[in-house]
Structure 1
Amino acid sequence: MNPQSSPRLTHLALHVVDMDACVAFYRDYCDMRVCHERSTAQQRIVWLAEPGREQDFIFVLMDGGRDLQLPDDDYRHFGFALPSRAAVDEIARRAKERGELVWPPRDEPYPVGYYCGLRDPNGNYVEFSYGQPLGPGAAQ
């Protein structure tokens, strides 16, 4: 397939129970910002993006969802890279205080690296890692 005609991942769309709580979670932990918002008679839709990536990759949040109730050993998640182990530890500390920490910081062999996991307000798991071959810390 021609690279210029290959499909490219641009967004993930999630139904959520509490839109404001989910927006606040991704703003506070992931530094994502609202880049588009609209409401219809039936639904509120919010697009979130990392600064500078508004035309590259977004989360689309739509109200009307259900809490996922994932067990702690379910490892499906959204992954965010951080610039250091200390940054992973800081997010884990904040999440523990708020009751949102699912996986305390841990080291795993390459390519997993150092990571922790949080539960967002809708029950999705969100991993914060350092030392994976993706994003900040990949060169180390």
Structure 2
Amino acid sequence: MGPTLTHIALHVPDLDACMAFYADFCGLRLIHQRPAKGSRIVWMAEPGREQAFVIVMMPGGTPRNLAADDYSHFGFALPSRDAVDEIAKRAQQAGCLIWSPRDDPFPVGYYCGVRDPAGNYVEFSFGQPLGPGAQPLESDGEWSSP
């Protein structure tokens, strides 16, 4: 067995704001926290995936100033196009929408982009061959287009 991706760790300028964002927009919940040099380090995960993948957040980061055409991001799958539209509407109201909902050819699907309080981009998508309900790869390691 090869390496398995288990977490990503981020220094963030406002730990509480980032925790609130990932809880509210992404449905992550706090699963661990510990003191660290006068502050704390937190682990957040999707319910039911606590032992598969976590986001670790630590205070002390500087805000990221990504360009609008920088597509570096964290990706979250949603169950429908309507769910993408709802996230985009909430993000617009909160002033953090960066990519309005749009359709791109398979395997990208329907998605929007939101900026977290640290300046990271977060994509919310429907129709990608990743996440819950994804179809298995073909025998040649490629996805079959729907």
TM-score range, shorter chain: over 0.9
User: What is the aligned partner in structure 2 of residue 36 from structure 1?
Assistant: 32
User: What is the aligned partner in structure 2 of residue 66 from structure 1?
Assistant: 62
C-alpha distance in 2 between matches for 1:58 and 1:83 = 21
**8 Å Cα contact 1:131/1:137 also seen in 2:** no
Length, aligned pairs only: 136
- Which blocks of at least 5 consecutive residues in structure 2 are unaligned? 136-145
User: What is the aligned partner in structure 2 of residue 20 from structure 1?
Assistant: 16
- Which blocks of at least 5 consecutive residues in structure 1 are unaligned? none
- Cα distance, 1:129–1:137 mapped onto 2, change above 3 Å: farther
**8 Å Cα contact 1:67/1:123 also seen in 2:** yes
Q: Which of the residues 61, 72, 77 maps onto 1:76?
A: 72
TM-score (norm 1): 0.93
- The ranges of structure 1 where at least 4 consecutive aligned residues each deviate by more than 2 angstroms after the TM superposition are 40-43, 136-140
C-alpha distance in 2 between matches for 1:67 and 1:58 = 21
The share of aligned pairs that are identical, in percent, is 65
Cα offset, 1:110, TM superposition: 0.3
Cα offset, 1:67, TM superposition: 0.1
Q: CA RMSD for the aligned pairs? A: 1.2
